[in-house]
Amino acid sequence: MSRRLIVEADGGSRGNPGPAAYGAVVKDAATGAVLVERAEAIGIATNNVAEYRGVIAGLEEAHRVDPDSRIEVRLDSKLVVEQMTGRWKIKHADMRELALRARSTHDMSAVTFTWVPRSKNVHADRLLNEVLDTEAPEPERRPLLRPAMGEPTTFYLLRHGETALTVQRRFSGRGGVDVGLTDDGRAQVAQAANALSARLGASSLAAIVTSPLLRTQQSAQIVAERVGADVTLDDGLAEMAFGEWDGLTFGEARRRDPALFDAWLADPAMPAPGGESLVDVAARVTAVQQRLRSQFQASTVLLVSHAMPVKVLVAAALQAPIESVHRVDVTPASLAELAFWPDGRPSLRALGLR
């Protein structure tokens, strides 16, 4: 599915015509997170010109965030909404030129325009008024463009593709049989690599970091060939060690050790016999992520791992109880996207992408 973005835009002048400015905000539709703010003084202009300039700026920034996104533009200008949707004619030549500029910024089949009352457009309105209050109105003023709260550090989490044991839903952890991908598994990862490439757009990965197990190394290499990033290994991303249950199905392990298995499900500190606990896995996986957050600040990193580590990282981002991982299913070659803002706040942007 295409990423959904919201653009909130506003423009105004003090005098109509008079000193004018616009404000535009790009938000993630799924989380409400503010991705980009942009505002600029545009000299002497009318309210309508300023409104259109806000639309253009918002669409430009949304396109930079994701050129394949679906965008909802929210405006408190009924005129601009009706003109951009084609319901009202644009009679003024200057307005027609601005409308054409707006339509050239993004695929218009992926853009909708929605009228909102001014009370629902306060963010963009605040930005333009801040500019009018502090900036001289000369047209040559450079735009004020700032990511909200700084740029996040983004992690894509990729579970490896299908293996023979995956098909049979058998435990397959570190210390067990190190199986490789099936042909279907390779095809699944190739599909995920294409989806990742489309989502990255003009951006690039700073690194691909993978579990050292064969299936994840193979998956990482498929992605690297598609997006052109270097691959490094990190044992901290390996799958949970299931010990004596390795190679068994969920049901077989429960029949073998019914009391122990139920205790393992209920207590994240309980290790599998001869293996690891969820607490053990969480400690090493989050340590890897924290180190990479420091190393690759404001960059994008792909982690290629396994079902348990991916679920642990998602649960941690949501501040969900660690035992909730047993209620989450992460399919082979699926992607999750996590963002960590400079203040440490995590944001789950996507889960289960293919």
Active site residues: 160, 239
Q: Is the dihedral of CA 100, 104, 108, 114 positive or negative?
A: negative
Q: Which residue has the tokens 């008024």?
A: 129
Tell me if 192 sits within 8 A of 181, measured CB to CB. Answer: no
Strands 18-28 and 34-45, bridge-based pairing: antiparallel
How many angstroms separate the CA atoms of 51 and 37, rounded? Answer: 15
Q: Which residue has the tokens 């952890």?
A: 173
- Report which DSSP code applies to 230: -
- Report which DSSP code applies to 270: P
Tell me which residue of 351, 341, 269, 281 sits closest to 309, measured CA to CA.
281
Q: Which residue has the tokens 């009228």?
A: 115
SS3 119: helix
- Cβ-based neighbour number of residue 150 at 10 Å: 12
How many angstroms separate the CA atoms of 51 and 77, rounded? Answer: 7
